[in-house]
Amino acid sequence: MERIVIEGGSPLKGDITIGGAKNSAVALIPAALLADGVCTIKNVPNITDKDALFDIVKLLNCKITESNKEIKIDTRDLKNVLINEELSVKLRASYYFMGVLLSRYKHVEIYFPGGCNIGSRPIDLHLKGFKALGAKVTKRGHKYILDAQELKGNTINLDFASVGATINIMFAAVLANGRTIIKNAAKEVEIINIMDFLNKMGAKISGAGTDTIIIDGVNKLSGTDIEVIPDRIEAGTYIIMGALLGDNLKVNGIIPEHNKALFSKLEEMGVEFSIEGNSVTINKCNNLKCTNIKTLVYPGFPTDLGQPMSVLLTQASGVSIMEETIWENRVGHYPYLQKMGANIELNGLVATIKGKTPLKGTEINATDLRAGAALIVAGLIASGTTMIYDIDYILRGYENIINKLTNVGAKIKLEKI
């Protein structure tokens, strides 16, 4: 067991380089199993979610090698076996193997996906898509069994622009007979990364990044290579830290376009930053203005940055509102921010945050991945020592976060307990 220990108050100066996007990589790795051959995936982030997916890929008898953020997956001996609960509950993205194995073998057996406790995390939209393509879905306890005589293209209207359902339906449709149209598709940029990978394999997909995606089924997909796009949520988390403690903090390897919603909010709050190419330099803002934020699907303000952003709002003068609209339980960080001295009134998923309040270091717990990131942000600005427990959540999604922060002057370390 380990905890993160932070001595707050150090300015952040120097360079941080952003890794590959977790929410791309966790879909690209299963996607490689759609191809009969060898795929290379570059710029894979060094996060524990990757290791959990590797275990499933190996269980399915694929060869996987890794060197310096580049992985090769050989699927020529793939065996479509049951994906057991111990493996599938480690992360939510295990559900991508449903669409992939249904597509290739018209049969898949897998247990419920896992993931942070930020809501009930149903997969009804995924299953609705699979059924629309001709699959029969049987649930036995915690196990799903999907079977299809044939997968036939269809038009699927998503009740909600679900990222996972959009990607999983793409997987299930890419080898189906005929055309599939996904309406009200999620527009997150990671979906474009997945479409590019599948099209390089020989798929015929268009429209990713818009609310209508068209997939014309093909017979076979072959091995190819793809690069994971930069992680806009990792980038946004460090940019928020820069607005609180930056002394010419330079965040490199970003795609500024992907963080437009964050940048416009920071401008509204009076934060000064300069963007050159794929880097942004940001400095501490001493007169943060309050603002109101509502998390939305892309290109709105991302739910995954709502928690770190709420810490920034505690340092803005006046009353700010942070409203979470995507996950019904993404509020686990607030009690700990209150314990540190933040003046927050939570009403359901709407937090009224009165600033500017000094935060004081204390013992706190990460309740989910981005809550953990928010607590690190809080510890970095708090006076005194902050100790964060249950940090496995954080290591799932932020590669080398202790080193990246230490390298720019943060007093942060991992401590065995």
47 near ligand EPZ, judged by CB under 6 A: no
Distance of CA 413 to the CA centre of its chain: 24
Q: Which two tokens stand for residue 363?
A: 């013992």
| Active-site residue, 116 included | yes
Q: By CB under 6 A, name the one of 81, 107, 136, 160 that touches ligand EPZ.
A: 160
- 122 vs 178, beta carbon nearer ligand EPZ: 122
397 near ligand EPZ, judged by CB under 6 A: yes
Q: Classify the C-alpha dihedral 161-163-165-166 as positive or negative.
A: positive
CA dist 303 and 308 (Å) reads: 10
What number of CA atoms fall less than 13 Å from residue 166's CA on the CB side?
31
CA dist 365 and 375 (Å) reads: 8
What is the smallest separation between the CB atom of 257 and ligand EPZ, expressed in angstroms?
A: 17
Q: By CB under 6 A, name the one of 73, 189, 244, 369 that touches ligand EPZ.
A: 369
Q: Which residue is nearest to ligand EPZ (CB)?
A: 164
Q: For residue 151, count other CB atoms closer than 10 A to its CB.
A: 23
Q: Which two tokens stand for residue 178?
A: 């005929």
- 227 vs 324, beta carbon nearer ligand EPZ: 324
Contacting ligand EPZ within 223-262 (CB under 6 A): none
284 near ligand EPZ, judged by CB under 6 A: no
99 near ligand EPZ, judged by CB under 6 A: no
Q: By CB under 6 A, name the one of 30, 134, 164, 217 that touches ligand EPZ.
A: 164
Contact segment (CB under 6 A) with ligand EPZ among 4-12, 145-153, 160-168, 383-391 equals 160-168
Contact segment (CB under 6 A) with ligand EPZ among 20-28, 81-89, 217-225, 276-284 equals 20-28
Using CB under 6 A as the binding criterion, the count of chain residues that bind ligand EPZ stands at 27
Contact segment (CB under 6 A) with ligand EPZ among 6-14, 113-121, 191-199, 278-286 equals 113-121
Sequence length of the chain is 417
Q: By CB under 6 A, name the one of 103, 291, 303, 315 that touches ligand EPZ.
A: 303
33 near ligand EPZ, judged by CB under 6 A: no
DSSP string, 5-51: EEETT--EEEEEE--B-HHHHHHHHHHGGGSSSEEEEES----HHHH
Catalytic residue among 39, 62, 116, 290: 116
Query: For residue 144, which phi and psi values (nearest 5 degrees)?
Result: -105, 135
- 123 vs 251, beta carbon nearer ligand EPZ: 123
Conformational region of residue 248, where left means phi above 0, alpha means psi within -120 to 50, and beta covers everything else = left
- The answer to whether the beta carbons of residues 239 and 398 sit under 8 Å apart is no
Q: For residue 41, count other CB atoms closer than 10 A to its CB.
A: 26
What are the residue numbers of the active site? Answer: 116
Binding site for ligand EPZ (CB under 6 A): 22-23, 26, 92-93, 116, 119, 121-126, 160, 162-165, 186, 188, 303-304, 326-327, 369-370, 397
